[in-house]
Amino acid sequence: MKPELKFVDIISQQPKMQKRKNDLSSFEYTYRAEITSMYQLTDMETLYRIQIVNPEERRRFAFIPGQFLMLEIPGIGEAPFSISSSPSIHGEVELCIRKAGNLTNFLSKVGRGAIVGIRGPFGTGFPMEEMHGQNILLIAGGLGLVPLRSPIAYVQENRSHFREVNIVYGTKSPQHLLFTYQYDVWIKDDINLNIIVEKADPSWIGSVGMLTDTLMKILEGRDNEFYHNTYAIVCGPPVMFKFVCNMLNKFNIPMQKMFVSLERRMHCGMGKCCRCNVGSTYTCLKGPVFDYWTVMNLKEAI
């Protein structure tokens, strides 16, 4: 026998039709996707509707509320974004993106029709089915409304499965409010919308103050039955969920029924680059959605 090693081609060796999570070729695979519309929500945030180009891939693409994907512009960069649209629409997602740096600034310059790459979906989501039959508190600070828009859409589409639904949404000022055009529809769908801004402008007629003030009003004076049968989803800057979760905790809302979404630096989304680790837990695999009990157990989470 000639003592020569044969080159092992890992891809050809791999059994076909694997699950995406075990498929070697899925690691760097990007769906080509077209930006079909761009809608500027505020000075800093724009809503992008993105559609996977290949119809077959479009059909297969599915996600659950709370998951994120990686969006890439070749040569410019790649970054994680929460999916901000209804999980029942396949192959088309909406992302609300804030201009924050390299990729996000460049993105604001590309036009409709541009082709971008997306990978994903990645991470954990909110257990929407588990919440059936329960009260729901959707609590968002600032950009935190973006990942909440997907569970909100789910709730709208399955409104009869839920009891009382409250959105508590706080921003710095009225100009920072996102998705204002949808508020009426949410209210029509029997969702209580509680908006509060830290600083009003002359045209503002709503509440002014901290988000926790509004939350307090909703929680105060309810019975234990309410507290025990309530799920809370909290998204926003780290300082916010510290306060919010503490308050929810005081009212004895079970920690396993409180969900938060963490944000960390990410390069792969697949538990390899380690940049998103909290303590020593991968935010991209075990998160970004965590229940509050888990968060309490993560060192350096909040």
Q: Does residue 26 interact with ligand FAD by CB under 6 A?
A: no
Shortest Cβ distance from residue 70 to ligand FAD (Å)?
8
| Cα distance between residue 153 and residue 159, in whole Å | 9
CA 269 to chain centre: 14
Selection from other proteins, ligand FAD, none that 252 binds (CB < 5 to 8 A by kind) is none
52, 97, 131, 244: residue in contact with ligand FAD (rule CB under 6 A): 97
39, 43, 59, 100: residue in contact with other proteins (rule CB under 8 A): 100
C-alpha closest to that of 82 among 105, 100, 99, 64: 64
**Complex with ligand FAD: residue 146 or 258, whichever CB lies closer:** 146
| Cα distance between residue 133 and residue 136, in whole Å | 9
Q: Which stretches does DSSP call E strand in the chain?
A: 31-40, 45-52, 68-73, 77-82, 92-98, 115-122, 135-141, 165-171, 192-197, 207-208, 230-235, 258-261, 289-291
Q: Does residue 75 interact with other proteins by CB under 8 A?
A: yes
Written as six digits, the tokens of 230 are 């309530």
Selection from other proteins, ligand FAD, none that 172 binds (CB < 5 to 8 A by kind) is none
**Complex with other proteins: residue 4 or 223, whichever CB lies closer:** 4
Question: Which 8-state DSSP code applies to residue 251?
Answer: T
- Do strands 45-52 and 31-40 pair parallel, antiparallel, or not at all (unpaired)? antiparallel
Q: What is the DSSP string of 92-147?
A: EEEEEEE--SHHHHHHTTS-TT-EEEEEEEES----TGGGTTSEEEEEEEGGGHHH
Number of residues that bind ligand FAD (CB under 6 A): 23
Shortest Cβ distance from residue 101 to ligand FAD (Å)?
2
Q: Does residue 67 interact with other proteins by CB under 8 A?
A: no
Contact flags string 117-156 toward other proteins, x per CB under 8 A: x---------------------------------------
Q: Does residue 295 interact with ligand FAD by CB under 6 A?
A: no
Amino acid at 122: F
Q: Does residue 96 interact with ligand FAD by CB under 6 A?
A: yes
Question: Which three-class secondary structure state does DSSP give residue 222?
Answer: coil
Cβ atoms 235, 145 nearer than 8 A: yes
Q: Does residue 43 interact with other proteins by CB under 8 A?
A: no
**Complex with ligand FAD: residue 210 or 285, whichever CB lies closer:** 285
8, 17, 160, 205: residue in contact with other proteins (rule CB under 8 A): 8
**Contact set with other proteins (CB under 8 A):** 1-8, 10-11, 13, 21-22, 24-30, 72-79, 100-102, 104-106, 109-111, 113-115, 117, 263-265, 267-268, 270-275, 277-281, 285, 299-300
**Contact set with ligand FAD (CB under 6 A):** 68, 77-82, 95-98, 100-104, 146, 263-267, 288
